[in-house]
Amino acid sequence: MRDSLRSLSVTLGVAAILTLAACEFGPKRLAGGGSDIGNGSAIAGMVLTTDGIPARGALARLRPSGYLSPLPAGSPKAGAAAADSLGETHSDSKGRFAFAHILPGRYRIEVVDSARAQGVLIDCKVDSGGKDVELAEAHFAATGSLSLHAPAGAAAGTSGYIRLAGLERLARLSAGDSLRLEGLPAGGYVVDVASKDTAFAALSGTTVSLHPGENTAFDSTALPCANRVCDSLALTAFFTDNGITEPIARFIKGSSRIDEVVLNALPYQYHFKTMAALKRLTALKVFKVEGPFLADSNMAPLFDALAGMDSLWLLSISWSKDSGFTALPASIGKLHALRELYLLGDSLHTVPGEIGNLSKLEFLSLQFNQLAELPDWGGLTVLRELQVPHNRLHVLPETIFTLNAIAKIDIADNHLCSFTDAQKTWLEARNAYAGPEGQTCP
């Protein structure tokens, strides 16, 4: 079990992960099995088995992203879900399914073929205005399971009701016992635990990731932050786009000793709802963010949150080509403890001279961007490796050739066609110059 526990990710983000599918909006005609649950828009999609054929007869359930299965009467937080928030249907012979009259909001769709032990999770949003939603084609993967063990501190005779946000799941776990939730599609799950016992309740809000066909097991003694106080442990931040940003913000607030945060494949606006909370992570050492919607206009909150963090030594930001992120803020120069910096996105046009203030920087990667020039960075006296391939550079600044701590430099696939003999010698000593063959020259 301990091996399985090591694979558990306690997370902090808003990402569709693993085999979660995304939404596409369009005027496509809805077809296939359907469910009519009220006024509003329609959602339709198609699922394929792991063999690539239409998944006929698969059960599709639609739930609001923050939905939790109703608890039995008299239980903590007991209550009933509104009837118009639910939808169930089966896919037709073409693997298509549809839900009609869906109100605006965020939803999670679980599609499972129990006979094949395959399924997929789809997180989706319906905007106001009645526009229909056509989902991207989704592919099944093997379903897995989640094993839960009652916390060691739970009082004898107590129990907790286990639920998964956005899914129709409800199970009772008693003190000293364990249970397994079967038939779960791969993806990220937020575990809700309703209990009067504080040891059980402390598990509520934990986010775990499940890989295809695997069983993920955890208990309160193995969760790095089960008590909401983290000890210098590398925690991965992992959210699904399902409206759970508030619990995550509370988690960060109570866990100031987190030293690693990774936000993966998230829409930008959800990443940075957590920025104010990140300022509390004074022990943060590693911060990685990936997202399709990073842009110049809203990068400031990130660097404002990270500025002055004395322990942050690695920063990695990657984004999609058309995101609109073209200029790195000058406030990057305030990250004085930074030793490694990765900026990958195929859209960066300028980088500020303030990077030269990062006197401890040892590794800098700016590859796959649109940089036509680099500023003078004479302050990078301990820089050991510089990666700037696949840009539009026509010349390297003179100060680059004074940074003798550099042991490796990659300048391939640029427009660097003219060097002095001294510069060629300097580059050759660092395995960086092979003549104009690796450049685009007239």
What is the band of 30 on the pLDDT scale with cuts at 50, 70, 90?
very low
- Note the pLDDT tens digit of each residue in 36-75: 444 678 999 999 999 999 999 999 999 988 788 888 876 6
Residue 330 has what DSSP assignment? G
pLDDT of residue 423: 92
Lowest-confidence pick of 84-93, 376-385, 389-398: 84-93
Note if the pTM is more than 0.85: no
Instruction: Show me where the domains of the chain are located.
Output: 18-141, 297-442
What is the band of 398 on the pLDDT scale with cuts at 50, 70, 90?
very high
pLDDT of residue 148: 86
Q: Quick one: CATH architecture of 18-141?
A: Sandwich (2.60)
What is the band of 263 on the pLDDT scale with cuts at 50, 70, 90?
low
Quick check: 28 pLDDT over 60? no
**How many C-beta atoms lie closer than 10 Å to residue 408's C-beta?**
12
Q: Tell me, what amino acid is at 87? A: G
Quick check: 15 pLDDT over 50? no
Three-class SS state of 300: helix
* Residues 335, 312 contacting (CB under 8 angstroms): yes
- Note the pLDDT tens digit of each residue in 208-249: 778 888 887 764 444 444 333 333 333 333 333 333 333 344
Quick check: 33 pLDDT over 60? no
Strands 133-135 and 41-48: parallel
Residues 6 or more apart in contact with residue 249 via CB below 8 angstroms: 273, 274, 276, 277
- Note the pLDDT tens digit of each residue in 298-337: 677 778 878 878 889 999 887 766 666 788 888 899 999 9
Separation CA 103–CA 9 (nearest Å): 33
Lookup: tokens for 99: 């839900």
**Average pLDDT value for residue range 285-310:** 72
The closest alpha carbon to 365, from 382, 344, 392, belongs to 344
**Average pLDDT value for residue range 402-414:** 92
Q: Tell me, what amino acid is at 245? A: T
- Note the pLDDT tens digit of each residue in 337-352: 999 999 887 678 889 9
Instruction: Tell me, yes or no, if the two domains 18-141 and 297-442 fold the same way.
Output: no
What is the band of 80 on the pLDDT scale with cuts at 50, 70, 90?
very low
Q: Quick one: CATH architecture of 297-442?
A: Alpha-Beta Horseshoe (3.80)
Percent of the chain with pLDDT over 70: 70
Tell me the Cα Rg of the chain. Answer: 25
The closest alpha carbon to 109, from 52, 171, 37, 181, belongs to 37
What is the band of 295 on the pLDDT scale with cuts at 50, 70, 90?
low
Strands 159-164 and 96-102: unpaired
Quick check: 173 pLDDT over 90? yes
Three-class SS state of 430: coil
Separation CA 139–CA 185 (nearest Å): 11
Mean pLDDT of the chain, nearest integer: 76
pLDDT of residue 214: 85
Three-class SS state of 197: coil
- Interior/surface letters 120-134, b for 16+ CB within 10 angstroms, e for the rest: bbbbbbbeeeeebbb
